[in-house]
Structure 1
């Protein structure tokens, strides 16, 4: 394997045959230079992606990640593979690393989310939920923080998604149409064009896909009292995102005769804020 780019002290992008691969090797940024060869035995972890479109996204992520976080995610996945009896893709490793970064940033701001899906995940995917709980404990131990069990839900869903059968073709077409409509609402509300190649956009659309699937199945949830305080806080902190969510509420009501709960609104406000905050700063 020949080094194409050094991303940081421990991560490099290499060329192997016709593929570009991320490799993790302690101190590779000091020991090697662009163009040099790397032997397999020097590498601790490889990430092989099946899409060149994801290279920029994950190269940025890996170059800014704590090497200990990469090890932590690998340990979480190893545990999940053993408990759930499946083989994880490299893409899953990277999406979980992305998820961890977002989680830690929210913890620093004390933005804890009451998940509207916790009871459904506990009921229908108990093994996956326990993997999510174990992942939280591992994160807590390494980071020296405490996390509510609700945070296990989104981690669990990463593993559920690995095993779920694909959505029927017609449903997928409808899902993509709804996704496009919601993105359009946000862009018109903020008078911006979202960067579809950004890390935040990819994270946001991943969340929206779960939301849209719940809308299409009529599985939107009633709000819980525990979420009300956070909802009031983020509504005041991020008024533009709140306004966008009110427009999305009207859209969902008109298309599906469904009401978005405070839980769902809180999720959407936080994610819309994240996907638009850099664009707002540049205006």
Structure 2
């Protein structure tokens, strides 16, 4: 076992430690920070939970959340994520634990105080664009009801689903996910307007299109390379055979590029045109 040493003491129950193999971790445990100073070894018997700092959730924010969160709400969120981990994935579940616990603790406190439900934005867009994540969010509300005997308002499925989307995209910035949701909704609206049709958001083709756009936008934001078509002749043939669909794909690419601040290449236009063509056929 590698020796973890303290690099910063947040309080008696939380420290920042560094493992020579896996790097920095926020370590939580009763008395883990009592009487220790930077450079001291961490008592492994006192480590209760371990959290990985990220750019979006630095160590100081993790420590602050851990200090403010009731332990029972953190444990409840762990049970919620254990129930949906089969779909969400272990890595995403670990990443979303603290921000989701912070949100659920706030929602439960409002219920205890008798506060009215919050009217969250994107009540239509989120269920339409992220039906799988909304289904997981409703599962989560069911777990909370079974464990606490209270039913959070159905409106809470929207922010919980957005936390799940956040985790899958590997970001801790909720404002980015809200912006992504609005952009996806606009892109779907472009297809509706250009093709004179109404996309069924429950269809498999619509789900594939939205998923493709989600990861295209994430790649553009992260400045990761995007795909080029394997065959320029294929792209040219698609453009000639489906000019309306190609023009629609170009409009979507221009919209995405303008919002993200990066140009969407011709290769991605071809992939978008294939999605638009499938939706037009349906």
- TM-score, normalization: structure 2? 0.51
1:177-208, Cα deviation, whole Å (9 max, x unpaired): xxxxxxxxxxxxxxxxxxxxxxxxx76x4675
User: SS of the residue aligned with 1:22?
Assistant: strand
Quickly say closer, same or farther: Cα 1:218–1:78, change in 2 above 3 A. Answer: same
Contact 1:84/1:127 (8 A) holds in 2: no
Pick the aligned partner of 1:127 from 118, 129, 132.
132
The residue that corresponds to 1:113 in the other structure is 118
Aligned equivalents of 1:44, 1:29: Cα separation in 2? 12
Contact 2:92/2:170 (8 A) holds in 1: no
Pick the aligned partner of 1:162 from 160, 167, 184.
167
Matched, 1:96 2:100: yes
Measure how far apart 1:96 and its partner are: 1.3
User: SS of the residue aligned with 2:91?
Assistant: coil
Aligned equivalents of 2:130, 2:184: Cα separation in 1? 16
Matched, 1:12 2:15: yes
Unaligned runs of 5+ in 2: 190-254, 256-282
Pick the aligned partner of 1:213 from 177, 183, 191.
183
Quickly say closer, same or farther: Cα 1:29–1:135, change in 2 above 3 A. Answer: farther
Contact 1:77/1:93 (8 A) holds in 2: yes
Aligned equivalents of 1:208, 1:129: Cα separation in 2? 15
Aligned equivalents of 1:29, 1:135: Cα separation in 2? 33
Aligned equivalents of 1:13, 1:165: Cα separation in 2? 22
User: Which of 1 and 2 has greater Rg?
Assistant: 2
- What does residue range 113-192 of structure 1 map to in structure 2 within 5 Å? 113-115=118-120, 117-163=122-168
User: More relative contact order in 1 or in 2 (CA 8 Å, sep 6+)?
Assistant: 1
Aligned equivalents of 2:55, 2:157: Cα separation in 1? 28
CA RMSD of aligned residues (A): 3.8
The residue that corresponds to 2:64 in the other structure is 60
Pick the aligned partner of 1:87 from 91, 110, 116.
91
Contact 2:6/2:15 (8 A) holds in 1: yes
Contact 1:22/1:46 (8 A) holds in 2: yes
